[in-house]
Amino acid sequence: MNNTTCQRVDFDFSSRFLPPVFILVFIVGLVANAWGLKSLLHNWKKLKIINVFVLNLGLADILYLLTLPFLMVYYFKDSTWIFGDTFCEITRFCFNINLYGSIGFLTCISVYRYLAIVHPMRVRGRLTVTHSVAISVMVWLLVSVQSLPDMFYTKTFGNKPGKCYDTTNDTYVEDYLKYSLGWTLTGFCLPFLITLGCYGHVIVILCRKNTIDKVQKQRSLKLLLILIVLFSVCYIPYHVLKNLILWSRVLSKQQICREWSNRVYIAHQISRGLVCLNSALNPLVYLHGNEDIRSQLRQLLQRARQMFRRPPPTDSGSVPMTELTGDV
């Protein structure tokens, strides 16, 4: 198919769709993560191994949320970046750190749950807070090494000034596609398979053994459900569509057009909105893993119910309705 007959891609869709999503994620994510981190730091002396991973998960979310106001300005100004090329690269780097840091720490939480339920006697006394801190440092280093090459790809599109794209321009798109595929394999697919394997084995053990506490079973199943939602809604669509849109750009550069290019572009922009939701959904892990936060949330809900259920004050001088109407 000749390039002149290609279907026009609706590039304006991202400017209409992403800003409202960013505003919602920024407000909900900042409040939820700040609340969760405050509770964790307040109970620092009672810090458990898994809470170290949760703490790092929250820090990764905060790091990304602080860049969202700049992206809002970018899209509100018709995709014109006014903060300089260097800060554009830093903003995209923070997104990648949050994305793959979140995946990494969720994987650590899954492995810890697996060891605590499937091999409790083997790991008792052997896993300490020091170990979890060391593992967290390794996750940060690994994610940084994986994300660092992305900063060396040009984020502007040739003769279009003021752009801040999340991949690179067409000159290097073939190389970036190879890098993205490798990044997807090591940064997403491998952790996802580890998480799936851990919780698959956990579910088998929970179903087979009647000696395991019922509350522990419920907590493990709830955490599994949270992780399934995070991976299914936030991570899987983004990685599939990101590589698909890069491939579409490679074909377009070769003057090979596909009818699905516009649909893939729109779907990719939607997946970008969904993937940033992980910063607002990750606090669900706090609610699951920290009893203090759950009790605080229950108290807030109780107060809210009492406020709505409280009958409105009546005027002592008013006449009952039955006296006015004669009804009994």
The alpha helices in 119-213, defined as continuous H runs, are: 120-123, 129-147, 173-184, 190-208
Distance CA 259, CA 83 (A): 36
Residue 274 has a pLDDT of 93
Residue predicted with more confidence, 208 or 32: 32
Tell me: pLDDT of 197 over 60.
yes
**DSSP per-residue letters across 248-288:** HHHHHHTT---TTHHHHHHHHHHHHHHHHTHHHHTHHHHHH
Hey, what CATH class is 10-295 in? mainly alpha
pLDDT digits (tens, 9 = 90+) for 68-121: 999 999 998 888 888 888 898 899 999 999 999 999 998 998 898 888 888 888
Distance CA 20, CA 144 (A): 29
Residue 175 has a pLDDT of 94
Question: Is 254 exposed, middle or buried (CB count within 10 Å of its CB: 0-12, 13-18, 19+)?
Answer: exposed
Residue 214 has a pLDDT of 73
Residue 317 has a pLDDT of 47
What are the Cα distances from residue 106, in Å, to 17, 203, 257?
28, 17, 39
Which residue type does 38 have? Answer: K
Residue predicted with more confidence, 285 or 274: 274
Look at residues 100, 181, 109 and name the one whose alpha carbon lies nearest to residue 143.
100
Tokens of 103: 């995946």
Distance CA 3, CA 25 (A): 38
CA gyration radius, the chain: 25
**DSSP per-residue letters across 193-229:** HHHHHHHHHHHHHHHH-SSS-HHHHHHHHHHHHHHHH
Segment among 151-160, 225-234, 283-292 with least mean pLDDT: 283-292
When the pLDDT of each residue in the chain is averaged and rounded to a whole number, the result is 81
Segment among 15-19, 69-73, 294-298 with least mean pLDDT: 294-298
Give the pLDDT mean for 219-224. Answer: 75
Tokens of 232: 């299914």
Distance CA 132, CA 48 (A): 9
What are the Cα distances from residue 234, in Å, to 70, 231, 238?
22, 6, 7
Flag whether the pTM goes above 0.85: no
Give the pLDDT mean for 167-176. Answer: 88
